[in-house]
Amino acid sequence: MLYSSDPYLSRFYYTYSDLQFLLSRHPNDCIRCEVAGNCKLQSLVQEEQVDDNMWMKKSTRGSSEHPEHTLHDHTSPSIYRDMDKCIECGLCVDACAKQQIHAIGFAERGSGMLPITAFDKPLSETGCISCGQCTLRCPVGALIERPDWHRVLDVLDSRQRKTIVQTAPATRVAISEEFGLEPGTVSTGRMVNALRQLGFDYVTDTNFSADLTIMEESNELLQRLSGEREGSLPLFTSCCPGWINYVEINRPDLIPHLSTTKSPQQMHGTISKCGPLANQIAVETGEEPYVVSIMPCTAKKDESVRPGNRGDIDAVLTTRELAKMIRHRNIPFASLSNDGSFDSPMGESTGAGAIFGASGGVLEAALRTAADSLGLEDAPLEYEGVRGVDRGVKVMTIKGVGSVAAVSSIGSAIDLLSNDDWKEKFLMIEVMTCPGGCLGGGGEPKSDDPDILKKRMAGIYNIDSSSAIRKSHENKEVQQLYQDMLGGHPLSETSERLLHTYYTPRNSDREKLYRFLSAVDHRDAKGAASLCTDDVIWNTNTGLYGAACGKEAVETLIQEKLPKADRVYGEEFKRHRLTSPVEGTDVVGPDGSKHHFEVTLNDAGLIKTLTRTSI
Ligand code: SF4
Ligand code: SF4
Ligand code: SF4
């Protein structure tokens, strides 16, 4: 009998002939596989020196009734499914069920068994929220994050573009595990040094933008409390893209409660493309920087291509992908000196920015700033009541403010939102899709240690407690950015344009319109046409462009008639914007003109007609 060290897999045992059977239907493609070197099947087979002679003929996947099961599905912006590598352990189904999403489940019996989506739909057309918890549990290469690290290495090696990289709060702790360091070790300086050795020109810190996020979000909370701002209370945090996906897919009624503040990743992307560094690079090279983010999260890949965000970040890599790049370039991470420091601007951060990586951290950081804004002199600096990595809801009442809640895992959020009690109880609710928050993100290193989240959390709170400055509004670089380019204060007209975002119920006319206009802004003719029926009518109501009838005409109008998108590098990308963050199809064009769109969709959610009128 062969036993696995995986706590779930060890409930089963594999016989030698089981392994032979698995191999007989496996692609055995280790040489090109993304998880080679970190694959439980590969290590079992290596340990036992299994040969596949017993099964002379290759077995096939799926059942005789359903041989057509989708084996390769790369439609999701975050997750790759290669089911020919699946060993039917069920860990992914278990992970998705724990999240209460149930996007994947077993079909068929016996040797035909396979975890598939409902009706075998592409993952991008299911209720999958891109959390990546399934990729964290999959012991082989059947479910992985979409691999983007190869193209980033190509850009770095070519030395053709100036590059800016940002690193998320949780990555600097978890990356240590990939190189044999004690879990919980803070490797900020080692990570910065490794990124410089990989060839990044500017190494910047997402913690800086976490502080910027707090400036906008805490002021948004105060304005909603005073009735100065559209939007409902309690305020839901918006920095977790899995949570945003969940709301847009399943609970669009909650959209008015979502903070409109962009996530730290996206704020950082925007400032990287049109802030001080981008200006400097534009003067030096006449070009736009290539912007990369390193995140503990698979859903951040998805977030970076949302309309309104698209183009601000060129590649999102997970912590696991960063480790692969470092190994690939033979950089001795563990023995690097831990003294590297971030570039400035976008390198300074506070303890409040650091704790974004843990469940409860965003709430705690916002409370530190809101308490000072409200002049609460005896407010604490630390809010122990919202800390902790276990799944569930942590509640705290703050004297002079009210009650707040931190929700760890989307399943716990679903439970909380199953009745309306939360509407009366809380002022602000933080939701993190993954258990423990970002430190348990779907892009973090795989681990069999049952205490791994607690160890990572200890590392993150160590960064906070040893920080000289622990409140976001005391970050000097953030203050300078407000003076230099953000209109002097949070929620200024410029901040609203650059640092806030919009939400759309999935498959609504509003969503399809926003995606279509985003494709138009990027002159992505095929992308725009793919959202339309074959006989779509797009009436621009202008003498110059008239009406386009049919998909081909839509492509031609975008490709050949619209002026080329005229970018001035280092300056803001001019794009269509929805007028309201929560509802309607009124739009402000890139030139500031205002329009109303009438949109009709067919049953499959494709655009049938699109008519623009000026308002
Ligand atoms: S999943 Fe594992 S065994 Fe299969 S090809 Fe990849 S590394 Fe090799
Ligand atoms: S990414 Fe999350 S929601 Fe999607 S299939 Fe995996 S566990 Fe389920
Ligand atoms: S996809 Fe991965 S986690 Fe899911 S059943 Fe197959 S091997 Fe197991």
Mean pLDDT taken over the chain: 93
The larger pLDDT score, comparing residue 558 to residue 65, is at 558
- On the question of pLDDT at 13 being above 90, the answer is no
The larger pLDDT score, comparing residue 598 to residue 63, is at 598
Closest atom of ligand 3 to 137 CA is 3
Ligand 2 center from residue 200 Cα (angstroms): 31
317-371, pLDDT tens digit by residue?
999 999 999 999 999 999 999 999 999 999 999 999 999 999 999 999 999 999 9
Neighbour count for residue 420 (Cβ, 10 Å): 8
Assign 612 to helix, strand or coil: strand
Assign 611 to helix, strand or coil: strand
At residue 316, what are phi and psi to the nearest 5 degrees?
-115, 125
Please tell me the distance from the alpha carbon of residue 583 to that of residue 516, in angstroms, as a whole number: 17
Please tell me the distance from the alpha carbon of residue 342 to that of residue 330, in angstroms, as a whole number: 22
pLDDT score for 63: 59
Q: Torsion angle, CA of 382/383/385/388, rounded to 10 degrees?
A: -70
Minimum CA distance residue for ligand 3 atom 8: 89
C-alpha 324: how far from its chain's center?
Answer: 19
Assign 449 to helix, strand or coil: coil
Ligand 3 center from residue 58 Cα (angstroms): 20
Minimum CA distance residue for ligand 2 atom 7: 96
Would you place residue 28 in the very low, low, confident or very high pLDDT band (cuts 50, 70, 90)?
confident
Ligand 1 center from residue 35 Cα (angstroms): 7
H-run or E-run covering 116: strand 114-117
- Residue percentage of the chain with pLDDT more than 70: 95
Closest atom of ligand 1 to 28 CA is 5
Pocket of ligand 1, beta carbon within 6 A:
26-30, 33, 35-36, 39, 41-42, 85, 140-141
Minimum CA distance residue for ligand 3 atom 6: 86
Beta carbons of 322 and 171 less than 8 angstroms apart: yes
Please tell me the distance from the alpha carbon of residue 142 to that of residue 147, in angstroms, as a whole number: 13
Ligand 1 center from residue 455 Cα (angstroms): 29
Q: Which residue has the tokens 């670089």?
A: 477
Question: For the purposes of burial, counting CB atoms within 10 Å of the CB of 474, is it exposed (0-12), middle (13-18) or buried (19 or more)?
Answer: middle
pLDDT score for 462: 97
Average pLDDT over residues 73-101: 96
Name the least confident of 147-161, 392-406, 510-524: 392-406
Minimum CA distance residue for ligand 2 atom 8: 96
Select from 22, 35, 83 the residue to mutate for testing ligand 1; criterion: most ligand atoms less than 8 Å from CB.
35
- The pTM is what? 0.95
List of domains in the chain: 9-72+81-145 (3.30.70.20), 150-499 (3.40.50.1780), 509-614 (3.10.450.50)
Closest atom of ligand 3 to 115 CA is 5
CA distances from 591 to 274, 588, 594, 603 (A): 18, 8, 9, 33
Ligand 1 center from residue 24 Cα (angstroms): 13
Beta carbons of 374 and 400 less than 8 angstroms apart: yes
pLDDT score for 1: 43
3-state helix, strand, coil in the chain (%, to 5): 40, 15, 45
Query: Tokens representing 448?
Result: 């069999």
At residue 81, what are phi and psi to the nearest 5 degrees?
-115, 120
Q: What DSSP assignment string belongs to 157-207? A: HHT-S-EEEEE-TTHHHHHHHHTTPPTT---HHHHHHHHHHHT-SEEEEHH
- On the question of pLDDT at 280 being above 90, the answer is yes
pLDDT score for 456: 98
Q: At what angle do helices 40-48 and 16-24 cross, to 10 degrees?
A: 120
Pocket of ligand 3, beta carbon within 6 A:
86-92, 115, 137-140, 142-143
Select from 26, 32, 320 the residue to mutate for testing ligand 1; criterion: most ligand atoms less than 8 Å from CB.
26
Question: Could you check whether the bond before residue 490 is cis, i.e. omega within 30 degrees of 0?
Answer: no
Ligand 1 center from residue 44 Cα (angstroms): 11
Ligand 3 center from residue 82 Cα (angstroms): 10
The 8 Å CB, 24+ separation contacts for 557-563 are 558/519, 558/520, 558/523, 558/524, 558/525, 558/528, 558/529, 559/523, 559/525, 562/520, 562/523
Minimum CA distance residue for ligand 3 atom 3: 138
| Closest ligand by atom to 446 CA | 3
| Closest ligand by atom to 71 CA | 3
